[in-house]
């Protein structure tokens, strides 16, 4: 039985869905659920990663250090993971996080900018903690470029590289091609992080492990921005059915999912038409809420906004451009 | 470009989700949406098919003949389809439906009982209308048996055979194997009808056309019992992206889906833990509501009920067994 390491960003990526307003009580409750079911890694921190709480990206109700402290006090078996984008998180933020007990650090960059992860990966390894590289918005680079960027992360000391389908663009054939290429080129494990814009988050995750990946991300009930992530309890049940070993208790996870739905999930993600357009356009899922809000406010078609954002190849951190595009479309249709 | 014929059972299979209580106004609104987007076939009638409105299966707010009349008066381009289970619908019901203007008849049986479709298929063909065979709960028979049953339907005059994954059990590899076998053995088109219990409804539908199917079913926002069906607008967008020709206007369909969500869908289906267990157990999706309701009433675990129903190989029409199983489990845990 092939083993798959599950990392659970429910409290991190999921927090996009509630604009980073999860309370300590909600987070503690979910940590207990995940820990009891045997989830190996629980990610914490702001939706956009360590140090991202800000006016522009959204302020967290609970600070990153407080979330890490809570995780350290609550989790008995699961490791504490964080998502770190160099430039958003400083080495000083990272040092504090490690001091508070973080075990696993995902150092992430846009898919063509692995260079920026070097210092952070090396620092984490020098401190004796686990470091993984993450290539975000991976559909924006050709396969050969992804392989080169992943190889850089490996050379910095990353113990695995995770491909993120940040915009939920991929279909299984896309995942298979990319994971196969990475698995063939790297000596470290390959991982995959899905979004559900085109209804394929779970299927793409399965395609990833079938193609040689051994790390998968999923959130409970798919909790996340827009169409959400790979639905963790469905993914684990399917992996179990297919004979992959996750060492997670499926029944406990399914029961825990019911409880989590009542306690942390204001609305279980569904695929609305905007999600589909954002997936077709290849735009970051985290932009669904601001695009829908601003489109409503200025009475423009969110479809047009997404397609234009896709043409401009907008990436996380460029939220200003949404307002710009909405204004331009509103002006062009006012005549 | 390979062509895929889309049949839309939103108003038929979807009505399970609202216990067959859609109003004429709601149905007319959705028919206009589907027709404007270019959906080729719109299915109408009770969720369990023509003539199923009853105390046991649930009484429709609008009768089958009234729904067909409404469709005939409303649809300008789409054909009117109905789902017919011989025994539930008599030949007399069928004659009335054809008289009212039905174009396409799906004659359905449990996957091992194609024999019962003979008279109905022959009658529909003798009246010059389109007849398809449908194998429900297709996971309950081995591949060779499915091929034999489908071949019978072909011999009766069926112009295509649709495999239903009524319990949402399949993963893409299962679909590929079955569709390939059918496509190789039959001279008529093969179709596939998915449910989303394991998060694979859209991916399985794509796997079906990749394996040679040319007819797919989907409902708007996945509207249907339990975890719902293949989400129609996502499916059509994905087929379009992959280069399959559906002759449906994707943007109109996405806009129409927003409207449909507001007007006919009380709650967009999501995958809850019961859906997953029902998918793992191989139990008909239409049973999710009664199982949850009765499990709550008698304070038993719906997981246990589903697993027991799976062991007993319960099929549609055996709703009595749910109550029996719930009572037995309640009694066994009362000590």
Classified as helix, coil or strand, B269 is coil
pLDDT at A57: 83
Res. A188: pLDDT tops 70: yes
Of A221, A276, A280, the CB nearest to B270: A221
- The interface predicted TM-score of the complex, written ipTM, equals 0.93
Residues B246-295: tens digit of each pLDDT: 999 999 999 999 999 999 998 999 999 989 999 999 987 678 788 889 99
pLDDT at B330: 92
Q: Distance between CA B29 and CA B259 in Å, rounded?
A: 9
Residues B7-28: tens digit of each pLDDT: 999 999 988 888 899 999 999 9
Residues A252-292: tens digit of each pLDDT: 999 999 999 999 998 999 999 989 999 999 987 678 788 88
Q: What string of H, E and C letters represents the secondary structure of chain A?
A: CCECEEEECCCCCHHHHHCCCCCHHHHHHHHHHHHHHCCCEEEECCCCCCCCCECCCECCCCCHHHHHHHHHHHCCCCEEEEEECECCECHHHHHHHHHCCCCEEEEEEECCCHHHHHHHHHHHHHCCCEEEEEEECHHHCCHHHHHHHHHHHHHHCCCCEEEECCCCCCCHHHHHHHHHHHHHHCCCCEEEECECCCCCHHHHHHHHHHCCCCEEECEHHHCCCCCCECEHHHHHHHHHHHCCECCCCHHHHHHHHHHHHHHCCCCCCCCCHHHHHHHHHCCCHHHHHHHHHHHHHCCCCHHHHHHHHHHCCCCCCCHHHHHHHHHHHHHHHHC
Q: What is the CATH number of domain A273-334?
A: 1.10.8.60
pLDDT at B55: 85
Output DSSP code: residue B58.
Answer: B
Residues B139-163: tens digit of each pLDDT: 999 999 999 999 999 999 999 999 9
- Does domain B273-333 correspond to CATH entry 3.30.200.20? no
Residues B104-120: tens digit of each pLDDT: 999 999 999 999 999 99
Q: State whether B234 and A198 contact (CB < 8 Å).
A: yes
Q: Distance between CA B306 and CA B292 in Å, rounded?
A: 10
Minimal CA separation from A254 to chain B, in Å: 5
pLDDT at A290: 86
* Fold (topology level) of A5-263: TIM Barrel (3.20.20)
Q: Distance between CA A331 and CA B52 in Å, rounded?
A: 54
pLDDT at B226: 85
Closest B-chain CA to A304: B251
Res. B322: pLDDT tops 60: yes
Q: Other CB atoms closer than 10 Å to residue A263's CB: what's the count?
A: 15
Q: Per-residue confidence at B335, pLDDT binned at 50, 70, 90? A: low
Residue B191, beta-bridge partner list: B162, B215
Q: State whether B233 and A171 contact (CB < 8 Å).
A: no
Q: Distance between CA B288 and CA B2 in Å, rounded?
A: 36
- Residues B195-209 have a mean pLDDT of 98
A223 and A17 Cβ atoms separated by less than 8 Å = yes
In a 10 Å sphere around its CB, with 0-12 CB exposed, 13-18 middle and 19+ buried, how is residue B187 labelled?
A: exposed
Q: Is A16 a catalytic residue?
A: yes
Q: State whether B276 and A234 contact (CB < 8 Å).
A: yes
pLDDT above 90 covers a percentage of chain A that reads: 84
Backbone phi, psi, residue A213, to 5°: -75, 155
A83 and A109 Cβ atoms separated by less than 8 Å = no
Annotated ligand binding at A166? The verdict is yes
Extents of the domains making up chain A: 5-263, 273-334
Minimal CA separation from A230 to chain B, in Å: 9
Res. A335: pLDDT tops 70: no
- Residues A193-210 have a mean pLDDT of 98
Interface residue of A17, A199, A252 to substitute, partner B, most B CBs within 10 Å = A199
One fold for both A5-263 and A273-334? Answer: no
Residues A78-114: tens digit of each pLDDT: 999 999 999 999 999 999 999 999 999 999 999 999 9
Mean pLDDT is lowest, of A128-137, A201-210, B168-177, B220-229, for B220-229
Q: Per-residue confidence at A37, pLDDT binned at 50, 70, 90? A: very high
């Amino acid at each position: 039985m092939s083993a798959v390491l599950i990392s659970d960003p429910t409290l991190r990526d999921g927090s996009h869905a509630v604009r980073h307003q999860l309370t300590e009580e909600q987070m503690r409750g979910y940590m207990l659920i995940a820990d009891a079911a045997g989830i190996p890694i629980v990610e914490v921190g702001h939706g956009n990663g360590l140090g991202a709480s800000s006016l522009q990206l959204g302020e967290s109700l609970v600070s990153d250090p407080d979330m890490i402290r809570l995780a350290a006090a609550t989790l008995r078996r699961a490791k504490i993971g964080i998502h770190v984008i160099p430039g958003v998180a400083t080495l000083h933020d990272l040092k504090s996080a490690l001091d508070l007990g973080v075990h696993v650090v995902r150092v992430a960059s846009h898919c063509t900018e692995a260079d920026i992860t070097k210092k952070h990966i090396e620092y984490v390894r020098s401190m004796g903690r686990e470091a993984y590289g993450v290539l975000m918005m991976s559909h924006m680079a050709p396969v050969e470029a992804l392989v080169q960027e992943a190889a850089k992360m490996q050379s910095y000391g990353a113990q695995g590289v995770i491909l993120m389908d940040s915009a939920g663009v991929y279909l299984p054939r896309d995942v298979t091609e990319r994971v196969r290429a990475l698995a063939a080129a790297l000596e470290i494990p390959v991982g995959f992080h899905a979004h559900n814009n085109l209804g394929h988050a779970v299927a793409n995750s399965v395609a990833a492990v079938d193609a040689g990946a051994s790390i998968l991300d999923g959130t409970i009930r798919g909790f996340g921005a827009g169409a959400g992530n790979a639905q963790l309890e469905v993914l684990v049940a399917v992996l179990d059915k297919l004979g992959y070993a996750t060492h997670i208790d499926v029944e406990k996870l399914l029961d825990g999912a019911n409880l989590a739905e009542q306690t942390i999930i204001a609305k279980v993600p569904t695929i609305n038409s905007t999600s589909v357009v954002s997936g077709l356009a290849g735009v970051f899922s985290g932009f669904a809420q601001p695009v829908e809000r601003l489109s409503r406010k200025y009475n423009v078609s969110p479809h047009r906004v997404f397609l234009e954002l896709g043409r401009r190849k907008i990436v996380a951190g460029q939220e200003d451009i949404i307002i710009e595009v909405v204004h331009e479309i509103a002006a062009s249709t006012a005549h």
